[in-house]
Structure 1
Amino acid sequence: MAGDRDRFSTATRLKVLGEQTAARVYRSQSRRQARRPRLTGRAAILLMVLCTLVVALAYPMRQYVSQRNDIADQRQQVRDAKARVEQLRDEKARLQDDAYVERLAREHLHYVRPGETSYTVIDPDARKRAPRDRGATDRPWYTNLWDGVDTADRAGDR
């Protein structure tokens, strides 16, 4: 029995010794982790390099995006200008046709061919709608034009 007690006490002693050793190792690791800074030197340098890159690239990236937008705007203006040029070319081609020019002169300038009689239909309600232009429909268009120029000239003298 004495051997059992020695053996048991040796096993118990080893167990206790193992627990004490484990506790010391755990306390030692806890102290090291508590003393160790969370940010190591390498991590701090890496963080500083990343921040520097972000700051260094922020302005050029903003410029790049801004210039891309400007380029897109310029391309849209070019497309609009090309469309306008096509419209003007079509208008120029139509104006080369004498029949089209004659039709425009008849519609807008009230021209008539020799021997034709021109009739102007006056809306009876026109005087009610525009009392300030009384008599403007009774006069030729060029008289109204010169009256407008004279009115604008008088307004500029004030």
Structure 2
Amino acid sequence: MLTWRAAVTLLVIALAIAVVAPSVRAYVDQQATLAELREDAAAAQAEVDHLNAELARWDDRAFIVAQARERLAYVFPGETPFRVVDAETVDGPATGSPAADRQPAVAAGAPWYDRLWDSVLVAGGEQRAGEAAESGEKGRADGAAGTGDAEEEIGENEPLTDVDFGE
């Protein structure tokens, strides 16, 4: 059993803990906040250093020329500027341009890869796929003369019989 002195001592210790505990908790929270603020200050100082370095680059004449060329598309006198446009967004050459005169109307709306393949076929002396369809030919689209007979043409799902796999 506890004596009255032990009970008073325990009561004083409990009161001391109750008084000191919020102060200790506040101290720990403030130390964590202080650490976060120091990290933020270090990050802000790094950003200031980066911005000062970028500002110092504008003192270099070569950097200014490079920025004028890149951002404003400036060129020196006597230079010929070229602007590359995304091929997927361009519908075709401008009307009245030399490229519009050279390009047939069939391939005008085709994507670039179809136009490339058509140019390969033209270079090989074969007829373009669009021209074969326009002329009403049946059979292969690369210009081979079709007879219109279904038995002579190779269908999509028919196997090839003369294939040698090098066995």
Q: TM-score, normalised by structure 1?
A: 0.54
Output the amino acid matched with 1:50. Answer: I
Residue 46 of structure 1: aligned partner: 9
Q: Deviations over 1:30-49 (max 9, x none)?
A: xxxxxxxx121111011101
C-alpha separation between the residues in 2 aligned to 1:88 and 1:95? 11
Residue 70 of structure 1: aligned partner: 33
SS for the counterpart of 2:8 is helix
The runs of 5 or more residues in structure 2 that have no matched partner are 92-167
The runs of 5 or more residues in structure 1 that have no matched partner are 1-37, 129-158
Measured at CA, do residues 46 and 127 of structure 1 come closer, stay the same or move farther in structure 2, by a change above 3 Å? farther
Output the amino acid matched with 1:45. Answer: V
2:72 equivalent to 1:114: no
C-alpha separation between the residues in 2 aligned to 1:82 and 1:101? 26
Residue 47 of structure 2: aligned partner: 84
C-alpha separation between the residues in 2 aligned to 1:91 and 1:85? 10
Output the amino acid matched with 1:115. Answer: G
Q: State the identity as a percent.
A: 38
What is the CA distance between 1:127 and its match in structure 2?
5.7
How many pairs does the alignment contain?
A: 91
What is the CA distance between 1:88 and its match in structure 2?
1.1
SS for the counterpart of 2:74 is coil
User: CA RMSD for the aligned pairs?
Assistant: 1.6
Higher relative contact order at CA 8 Å, sep ≥6: structure 1 or structure 2?
Answer: 2
Residue 109 of structure 2: aligned partner: none
Q: Deviations over 1:6-54 (max 9, x none)?
A: xxxxxxxxxxxxxxxxxxxxxxxxxxxxxxxx12111101110111011
Q: TM-score, normalised by structure 2?
A: 0.51
Residue 128 of structure 2: aligned partner: none
C-alpha separation between the residues in 1 aligned to 2:90 and 2:37? 49
Larger Rg: 1
